[in-house]
Amino acid sequence: MALCGGIGGAKLALGLSHILEDRLCIVVNTGDDFHLFGLQICPDLDTVIYTLAGLANPATGWGRADESWRCMETIEALGGESWFRLGDTDLAMHAVRTEKLAQGCRLTEVTEEIRERLGVASRVLPAADIAIPTLIETDRGTMPFQHYFVRERCTPVVRGFVYAGAAAAPSNRGHRRRSAGRR
């Protein structure tokens, strides 16, 4: 099992997957997840899956290779928010995820289906099925992680962190595998 998130975590997962293949289970950060254009965006999950599927953009480490940007160009031309760049094929991932979540699927189930459809052998699990967003307390107020990291480019002075919803997260104690012969 590996715990990871972001570009560095995706590279670690890729290296481990070459050795462990389908025996590897990767638990991915969901604290950076957020909503944009009404879509559920899971940057770390997507970066890990795209990397393991051989679809990641090698120049940026995030997003998909050979991406087109017509939707974002149109959003920008219409005056919409364009600070978080989502390519056309990446938008399709978010649209499918959001639709399945709206139908009542858990993020774990949706991630599993996407992983299988993209041919990723290693298991990929979100750290949580419920939203536990990382909020950054700054000298400019409290903001979601992606707003701080991408939109504001880490310029506000950090005063603290809040993990909204963490207290309500279900415990994993009852979900551990038991070793044979042990209770």
- Residues 87-136: pLDDT tens digits? 999 999 999 999 999 999 999 999 999 999 999 999 999 999 988 999 99
Q: How far is CA 22 from CA 5, 10, 124, 128, 150, in A?
A: 19, 16, 10, 21, 33
How confident is the prediction for the chain on average, in pLDDT?
A: 91
Domains of the chain, residue spans: 2-129
Q: Which pLDDT score is estimated for 26?
A: 97
| Whether the Cβ atoms of residue 145 and residue 134 lie closer than 8 Å to each other | yes
Q: What is the pLDDT of residue 182?
A: 35
Separation CA 98–CA 46 (nearest Å): 13
Q: What pLDDT does residue 100 have?
A: 98
pLDDT at 131: 87
Q: Find the helix or strand (DSSP H, E) in which 2 lies.
A: strand 2-4
Task: Give the Cα separation of 9 and 6 in Å (integer).
Answer: 5
pLDDT at 165: 83
Strand order in the sheet with 123-126: 2-4, 25-28, 123-126
pLDDT of residue 175: 42
Fold for the domain defined by 2-129: Helicase, Ruva Protein; domain 3 (1.10.8)
| Among 52, 33, 53, 50, residue whose Cα is nearest residue 42 | 33
Coil, helix or strand at residue 171: coil
Place of tokens 């056309």: 88
Tokens of 179: 């070793």
Identify the pLDDT of residue 61.
Answer: 85
Q: Does pLDDT of 178 surpass 80?
A: no
Task: Name the phi and psi angles at 35, rounded to 5.
Answer: -110, 140
Mean pLDDT of 60-81: 94
Residue 49 token pair:
């899956």
User: Strands 25-28 and 2-4: what pairing?
Assistant: parallel
